[in-house]
Structure 1
Amino acid sequence: MVFSTANVTSGMSVIQVSTQTGMGAIPYEGGTAFRVWAPFASAIYVAGNFNNWSITENLLAPENNGYWSVDVPGAKEGQNYRYVIQSPFIPSDSVWWRTDPYCKHVLDNDGGDGVIVTDQFDWGTNTFNMPVWNELVIYELHIASFNRSENKPGDLNSIIDKLGILKDLGINAIELMPIFGFPGEYSLGYNPAFPFDIESNYGDPGKFKNFVKKAHEFGIAVILDVVYNHFGDKELDYSLRRFDGWNQNNGDGIYFYNDQRVQTDFGPRPDYGRGEVRQYIRDNALMWLEEYQIDGLRFDSTINIRNIYGKNNEPVNDIPEGWSLMQWINNEIDSKMPWKITIAEDLQNNEWINRNTGSGGAGFDSQWGSFFYYSIFNAVVASTDSARNMYSVRDAILQRFETDAWKRVIYSENHDEVAEINHKVRLPEAIWHGNADSWFARKRSTLAAALVFTSPGIPMIFQGQEFLEWGNWSDSGTLDWSKKDKFSGIWDLYQSLIRLRRNWYNNTRGLRGQHVNVHHVNNNDKVIAFHRWDNGGLGDDVVVIINMGDRFYDRYSLGFPGGGTWWVRFNSDWNGYSPDFGNHSGYDTFANQSNPNDSDGMPFSANIGIGPYSVLILSQ
């Protein structure tokens, strides 16, 4: 971004544009510079604590490119400010107060005052290394509802209080739902008013940096959900909408499209074709990764960035500049911080989302795997065993984008699929409404968990799954942490699965590998088995057997990739996970050489024992 060195005369004094670089409030020694984009303004003043809120004292100079700036000696960190804009599109007798779009801390309960923030924080000397994609285990978390106390929403400090517990569970990445400022006390986070701002109920920039630092000290990466498919909130008269008064076609102003492309189901769509708006979104993405040192971004609803109506395979309604914006951001991240992950929520099973930009792809490292979710959800929620389609389960295990297993994030719950606002419920509740703590709900929901942690892909769980949270989730609710003790065995089951997924004991490395072979599909008896491996061999080859039927087997024969003894590393029917689980013997077994025609095409075969609605994980 190039800034001009123009100046303007105000009264008898010449006001020069700032020589400081950057946007918004830019503290320097002895004062603060202010720079804002407002191409249709005729004059702009900055008012705040530093000038007793004078609306005529600190006039910004035009840079002759739509940007305005000024240095204000004496303005300092912690002081409040806002812009006062004059424009041909604003009545001359109106005082047009606007919040700085680049402001990093907005007092939304105080009329939209911005706060001057400095980028000064002691990050310490510890170095955090982001886990590689095939080692990630993600925990999706909503700040307000994760660990609230009394009648107050949870905040960043309340998460810090639970970091030790999450580390003990085994997760190594937290995906935070959006933290952008929003009106009111509660929100899912998908109604962003100011994308550079941190919601005041959650904390401020210093508290967020402290949270990231503490998470890193626990070995936990931080991934942030960002919302770029729409901006603005019609409840706020000081938001990005009609920022400098201009509103072609009675639209939402300079930050937004002013034709049919503006409309989404959630709010006005930014104008991805306008250079200043593209820069704004790009600056936002890099700020979180660089200044706040987070480890990745999950882009909300990319389908609504790339298509007017949020539809796949409708090229006539595509938004090419939305696609190129995502490419630009991903290219910048890859060139500066290639170890940091970007994840798309596209939900269209579109391989081009993950393809590299050189071949025309959007360049995301991974995307949410909705195909996996719906296939597994339908299998475990079906009310009768006969309705479970093991071929759909097979296809969910095998599906991937291009040849890379880690280009999909897989899950059996996420915030959208359990939200009260969407009339959805948690998986145990969906299995048996009103009886989510029943044997059937516990057994079948943990089948889904086992598939998440043993199938190729980056596994993710939603807060509370690990202790059987049920009902539905809302932004104003809270997790029932008493269930962690009540269903401590379910917690242990999740912990066991996560440790095996991460090769904790150095005998299940195959669960981190690219390779999978679903070699046994018995749709009549609802049994499926698959082989996972990285390089193969002892400590690497893993066989997963899943019984989705309500019957047990003392001797069930199937194929194995290698001969010799196979040890049971996990048996979900163990009564240590729940006293009413059957503890059916999932015994260690010996695989003998056999005719591949009689053993699922595998060179060896063995007998196993398995309980109803149960999972075995074996390795050598």
Structure 2
Amino acid sequence: MKIGASYLGNGTCEFTVWAPAHEKVSLQIVSPNNRIIPMEKGEQGYFKVVAEDVLPGTLYFYKIADSDYPDPASHYQPEGVHGPSQVIDHNSFKWTDVQWSGIPLEDMIIYELHVGTFTKERTFEAIIPRLQDLRDFGVNTIEIMPVAQFPGDHNWGYDGAYPFAVQNSYGGPDSFKNFIDAAHKQGISVILDVVYNHFGPEGNYISQYGPYFTEAYKTPWGSAINFDDVQSYGVRNYFIENALYWLQNYKIDGLRLDAIHAIYDLGAKHILQEMADEVAQLSETIGRKLYLIAESDLNDVRVIREKQFGGFGIDAQWNDDFHHVLHTLLTGEQRGYYQDYSSCEQLAKAYKESFVYSWHYSATRKRYRGNDASQQPAQQFVVCTQNHDQVGNRMLGERLSHLVNFEALKLAAGGLLLSPYVPLLFMGEEYGETSPFLYFVSHSDPDLVEAVRQGRKEEFADFHSEIDSDQEYSDPVSFSTVEKSTLKWELRNEGQHQVLLELYKYLIQLRRSLPALKNLSKETLEASAVDDEKLVLLHRWHQESHIFVAMNFNDKDVTFKANISGGNWNKILDSAEQKWMGPGYTMPNLLMEAQEVTIKPQSFVLYQKL
């Protein structure tokens, strides 16, 4: 069932809203000519009216029991979360990406981007001049953090109250389309981060319309979305329509589904399976593969397994285990959930099997967690060394560039891009950005503002000791926190930052040119570790192409025997070389079987079999 305001042309617009608990709903036209139009209630609680003399740009509310509320499926909120909704004509935009066919999942190099801190202008249009720079160093997919209308002008985006409406301060619907069109012309796919597990706390009038929430489950944000309780059919339709809306009207190439572990559905057909089915059908209709990628804390392969084998049929998922173990090896941190990760053996397992916790006991969670993902294709896992959560949920918003030295930053790049998985980079990572990424909001409710301040401090308790001073804490409501988090784009042309950028660029080139790296497969991969020496060794191959990688997470030289098959191996990258501003290399240019070699601290080396 289509919902919201659908402009039909010639001054005619169809309005549809789900309000099953009400007997009367009216359309309140606010501008340009104030009037009230009764709506007709149809099957399953959907109210409809086809209104004349309604042009694009018309502002409206729905009137329920003498109160005016914005459209829960509003396509635009030009005056913010409390203002009227606006009619949008999606057919009027002139797309120029007519030849666009998308990027296959297995070829993606994903770049996570936040509109409000990527440029000082904080708009979609301001991103466009930087697209060529992203493409030139290897990015072919941008994952954009949520753009659904949130209160105020600055927010991470996870407080959106209108899932169909493009944030007004970023530029609105046409500006978003301009950005996507420009990205496609540069050969870059766009994945949109969407939130289907909760609504933001301010400007959220959704409960005035129907039973969108259930008390059967609880989430970190309060009552859960009603996907399986009484009258859940309208709620399910709402979110499925939202997924299709972005893919159809904005030519989005895929959706990243936020925190699906907080989506509860015990029905016979899980909402994620139904959504995957609908998206697959749309893909067939338009002749272009559209992707769903889940953020999941479950370590459960049912999320990505095909539906004929009892899965939801989601295309891929984030793999936090990979991030956590790599982070602890690089930083030595052992607070919070990092206590569960510490060994090179775990990293070797992450390379080979994807999940570190595959029904193993977690000391932090105090329970067994995960299942076996070893048989799932490698391209179903998105991995990273940094992302908005892992950086922004730290009190000081530290990136890896704040936590480790330059040699370790290069090692992180190698650990990520030489993996058999789909890599995700967090904006600025490629050149060692020095701005933090802090948490920020712009709520207008004073009580809500104070609740956010206190809540964030409590969340930091596991990661920061009592000696951390309040002076270090950045107020999430202050605009200065947004300014602190804004990228220093010019750094990419300076010193070590430029060298790191060139290393990322070269590693991406190797992923695309060497068959052993280009072929994402766990079946053609061997991973081993020497924990005492903090050494991880990889062997990947595809047909006649073989590569060998040694990664030293130790702060001292490590001597070992290369566990490679017969023949000679030629070195093609050594992060310790002076070319990469390293201390100088000790690994030989030509490597032979069982040869004893020494690798420099916090470095990696890549060989290709001749």
Query: Of 242, 247, 268, which aligns to 1:284?
Result: 242
Q: 1:50 to 1:427 in 2, by over 3 A?
A: closer
Counterparts of residues 41-440 of structure 1 (less than 5 Å): 41-49=22-30, 52-54=33-35, 57-86=36-65, 95-109=66-80, 111-120=82-91, 121-124=93-96, 126-149=98-121, 154-233=122-201, 235-236=202-203, 239-244=204-209, 253-257=210-214, 259-261=215-217, 263-273=218-228, 274-306=232-264, 319-321=265-267, 324-337=270-283, 339-382=289-332, 389-400=343-354, 401=373, 402-419=375-392, 424-431=397-404
Provide the residue aligned with 1:30 in structure 2: 11
Matched, 1:588 2:589: yes
Gap change, CA 1:573 and 1:30, over 3 Å in 2: same
Question: Which residue of structure 2 lines up, in the alignment, with residue 248 of structure 1?
Answer: none
Provide the residue aligned with 2:443 in structure 1.
Answer: none
**51 and 140 in structure 1: CA distance in 2 versus 1, 3 angstrom threshold:** closer
Are the counterparts in 1 of residues 213 and 225 from structure 2 also a CA contact under 8 Å? yes
Measured against aligned partners, the alpha-carbon deviations of 1:189-226 in whole angstroms (never above 9, x if no partner) come to 11120100011111222111111111111111111111
Q: How far has the Cα of 1:52 moved from its partner?
A: 2.6
The Cα shift of 1:271 comes to: 1.2
Q: 1:507: Cα distance to partner? A: 6.1
Distance 1:421 1:63, change over 3 A: farther
Q: Does 1:614 align with 2:587?
A: no
TM-align CA RMSD: 2.5
Shift of 1:230: 0.8
1:207–1:479: structure 2 CA closer, same or farther, 3 Å change rule?
same
Question: Whose helix fraction is larger, Structure 1's or Structure 2's?
Answer: 2
3-state SS, counterpart of residue 269 of structure 1: strand
Please say which of residues 27-36 and 192-201 is displaced more in the overlay.
Answer: 27-36
Q: 1:510 to 1:277 in 2, by over 3 A?
A: closer
Residue 485 (structure 1) aligned with residue 500 (structure 2)? no
**Which letter maps to 2:541?**
W
* Equivalent position SS for 1:449: helix
Q: Does the residue aligned with 2:126 lie in a helix, a strand or coil? A: helix
Partners of 2:352 and 2:302 lie apart in 1 by 18
Classify the secondary structure of the residue corresponding to 2:579.
coil
Provide Cα deviations, 1:129-163, integer angstroms capped at 9, x if missing partner: 322222111111111011124xxxx1111111210
Superposition deviation, residue 547 in structure 1? 1.8
Between the aligned partners of 2:70 and 2:501, the Cα distance in structure 1 is 45
Q: 1:71 Cα deviation (Å)?
A: 2.0
Preserved CA contact (<8 Å) 2:212 2:226? yes
Q: Could you tell me how far 1:181 is from its partner in structure 2?
A: 0.4
2:81–2:149 Cα contact (<8 Å) kept:
no
Question: What SS is found at the alignment partner of 2:563?
Answer: strand
Indicate if the aligned counterparts of 2:80 and 2:149 stay in contact, CA closer than 8 A: no
Question: When the two structures are superposed, what TM-score results if normalisation uses the length of structure 1?
Answer: 0.80
Which amino acid in the other structure matches residue 219 of structure 2? T
Deviations 1:59-80 (A, max 9, x none): 1122253122222211111121
Q: Which residue of 2 aligns with 1:90?
A: none
C-alpha contact 1:27 1:117 (8 A) present in aligned 2 = no
Change (3 A) 1:421 1:68: farther
Q: Deviations over 1:564-593 (max 9, x none)?
A: 3x2222111122333xx21315443153xx
**555, 561, 572: which is aligned to 1:557?**
561
| Structure 2 unmatched ranges of 5 or more | 335-340, 355-372, 441-481
Which residue identity is paired with 1:502? R
- Please tell me whether the aligned partners of residues 32 and 59 of structure 2 are also in contact (alpha carbons under 8 angstroms): no
Take 2:602 and 2:237, find their aligned partners in 1: how far apart are those partners?
Answer: 52
The answer to which of 138-147 and 123-132 deviates more is 123-132
* Residue 460 of structure 1: aligned partner: 424
Counterpart amino acid of 1:97? D
Q: Residue 510 of structure 1 contacts residue 542 of structure 1 at CA under 8 Å; is this kept in 2?
A: no
* 1:64-110 deviation digits (Å, cap 9, x = unpaired): 53122222211111121111123xxxxxxxx3111111211112438
Distance 1:59 1:406, change over 3 A: same
Aligned length: 530
Distance 1:498 1:357 in 2: 33
Alpha-carbon distance between aligned partners in 2 of 1:551 and 1:507, rounded to the nearest angstrom:
32
Structure 2 residue 547 is the aligned partner of structure 1 residue 545:
no
Change (3 A) 1:519 1:145: closer
**What are the within-5 Å matches in structure 2 for residues 472-551 of structure 1?**
472-474=436-438, 475=440, 476=482, 477-486=485-494, 487-503=497-513, 506=514, 508-509=516-517, 512-518=520-526, 520-534=528-542, 536-537=543-544, 540-551=545-556
- Distance of aligned partners of 1:428 and 1:511 in 2 relative to their CA distance in 1, 3 Å threshold: farther
Indicate the residue corresponding to 2:570 in structure 1.
567
- Cα distance, 1:458 vs structure 2: 0.8
8 Å Cα contact 2:325-2:342 kept in structure 1: no
Letter of the 1:112 counterpart:
G
- Aligned-pair CA distance for 1:399: 2.3
Shift of 1:170: 0.3
Which structure exhibits the higher relative contact order, with contacts defined as CA atoms closer than 8 Å and separated by 6 or more residues? Answer: 2
Q: TM-score, normalised by structure 2?
A: 0.81
C-alpha contact (below 8 Å) 2:563/2:594 kept by paired residues: yes
